[in-house]
């Protein structure tokens, strides 16, 4: 039993010894572990501090970069905002301008509509041949009034055969009759034609109408026995009708590739053969300007004799003025010489009077002749010392000059 107890005690002692040894070893390990922990902690703290500093520097750099970027972005945004505002203002102004333009366009459109209605009304009025002829006569009269003096044209002139011409251009060699004619209805048929056949038919009717007007002007108004020249003017008050009847016909452009008149004779050739000259407002204006220049030339030529007579009279007047100018020059020369003569005498007498009043007593009168003179003394003045005689001579000379050469 004791052995068991001893053994147990020994085991307990061994166990305690093992525990002590283990405890000592554990303490050493703990100290080593603690030292390692502290070292690790210090390393971690150092690493953390280094990383924190690096992170802080990085954050500072990033913050500075972000701040710079934000400043740049803010500046760009402000610039972009300003540009956007400017563009918006420009767009607003453009929109306002467009709105005003649209308003003006609307007003203009309304006016055009009203003008179209007015034109349509005028067109309805001009459907009457009588009113249409009256309009042509009015335009012709207005053109004549703007171009020629009233003495060189007459309106609505009546011939002895009972015919009445719209206007006469009165020249020295005779009068040029002008009558307003234009086949408007036939021309409208050409414009409204939709097929080639309709165009050809309307063109033939138009040519026939123009020829009728040409024949009427030639037969009714070319009357040399009544004082007219051997040609007349047919006034077509519409340029498009003049082009269709004369200018286009000259080129043979009839729409069918052939001449518009039988036998290949154009309307202009037909009119010239009848001694009728078709004219439009533009060509008539040029013709009237040529007539006006001729009238002015004739007026100048008629006044040439009168102008030459005036020139002869001016030449005679100029000769008389030249003669009077020469006489005046001689009188001025005589007056200048006499002025110098009298001036010398006045100076001599002044010198003598001064000597008489001096304390030295009077000087001989002949010494006064030696006094200085401000003017040139003529020879005849030196020969006479008596002032009365000198003045009498001056008066006689002046009287003789005045009697011989009056100004």
Confidence band, pLDDT 50/70/90 cuts, at residue 389: very low
- Angle of CA points 11, 14, 17, to nearest 5°: 150
Mean pLDDT across the chain, nearest whole number? 74
pLDDT given for residue 39 in this prediction: 81
pLDDT given for residue 285 in this prediction: 84
How far from each other are the two terminal CA atoms of the chain, in whole angstroms?
A: 200
Of all residues in the chain, the percent with pLDDT exceeding 90 is 0
Closest by Cα among 233, 94, 214, 117 to 168: 233
Closest by Cα among 113, 115, 95, 114 to 103: 95
pLDDT given for residue 385 in this prediction: 40
What's the whole-model pTM score?
A: 0.44
Confidence band, pLDDT 50/70/90 cuts, at residue 131: low
Of all residues in the chain, the percent with pLDDT exceeding 70 is 76
Mean pLDDT, range 381-401, rounded to an integer? 40
Most confident residue range from 172-176, 284-288, 338-342, 381-385: 338-342
Residue 376 has pLDDT above 60, yes or no: no
Confidence band, pLDDT 50/70/90 cuts, at residue 161: confident
pLDDT given for residue 397 in this prediction: 43
Confidence band, pLDDT 50/70/90 cuts, at residue 134: low
pLDDT given for residue 259 in this prediction: 44
Residue 297 has pLDDT above 80, yes or no: no
In the block, residue with structure tokens 């300007």: 289
């Amino acid at each position: 039993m004791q052995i068991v107890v001893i053994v147990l005690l020994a085991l307990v002692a061994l166990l305690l010894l093992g525990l002590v040894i283990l405890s000592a070893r554990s303490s050493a390990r703990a100290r080593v572990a603690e030292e390692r922990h502290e070292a690790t902690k210090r390393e971690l703290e150092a690493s953390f501090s280094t990383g924190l500093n690096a992170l802080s520097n990085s954050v500072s750099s990033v913050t500075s970069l972000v701040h710079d970027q934000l400043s740049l972005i803010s500046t760009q945004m402000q610039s972009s905002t300003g540009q956007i505002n400017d563009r918006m203002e420009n767009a607003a102004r453009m929109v306002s301008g467009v709105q005003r333009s649209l308003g003006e366009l609307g007003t203009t459109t309304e006016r055009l509509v009203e003008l179209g209605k007015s034109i349509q009304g005028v067109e309805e009025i001009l459907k009457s041949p009588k009113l249409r002829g009256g309009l042509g006569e009015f335009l012709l009269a207005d053109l004549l009034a703007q171009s020629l003096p009233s003495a060189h044209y007459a309106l609505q002139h009546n011939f002895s055969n009972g015919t009445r011409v719209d206007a006469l251009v009165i020249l020295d060699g005779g009068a040029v009759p002008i009558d307003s004619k234009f086949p408007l209805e036939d021309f409208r048929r050409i414009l409204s034609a939709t097929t080639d056949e309709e165009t050809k038919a309307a063109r033939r009717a138009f040519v026939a109408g123009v020829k009728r007007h040409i024949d009427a002007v030639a037969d009714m108004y070319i009357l040399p026995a009544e004082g007219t020249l051997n040609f007349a003017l047919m006034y077509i008050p519409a340029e498009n009708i003049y082009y269709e009847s004369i200018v286009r016909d000259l080129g043979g452009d009839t729409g069918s590739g052939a001449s518009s008149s039988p036998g290949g004779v154009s309307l202009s050739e037909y009119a010239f053969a009848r001694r009728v000259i078709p004219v439009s407002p533009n060509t008539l204006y040029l013709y009237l300007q040529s007539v006006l220049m001729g009238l002015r030339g004739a007026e100048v030529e008629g006044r040439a004799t009168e102008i030459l007579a005036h020139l002869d009279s001016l030449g005679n007047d100029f000769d008389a003025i030249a003669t009077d100018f020469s006489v005046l020059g001689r009188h001025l020369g005589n007056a200048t010489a006499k002025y110098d003569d009298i001036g010398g005498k006045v100076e001599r007498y002044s010198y003598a009077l001064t000597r008489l009043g001096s304390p030295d007593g009077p000087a001989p009168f002949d010494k006064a002749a030696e006094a200085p003179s401000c003017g040139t003394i003529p020879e005849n003045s030196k020969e006479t010392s008596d002032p009365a005689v000198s003045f009498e001579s001056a008066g006689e000379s002046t009287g003789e000059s005045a009697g011989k050469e009056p100004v």
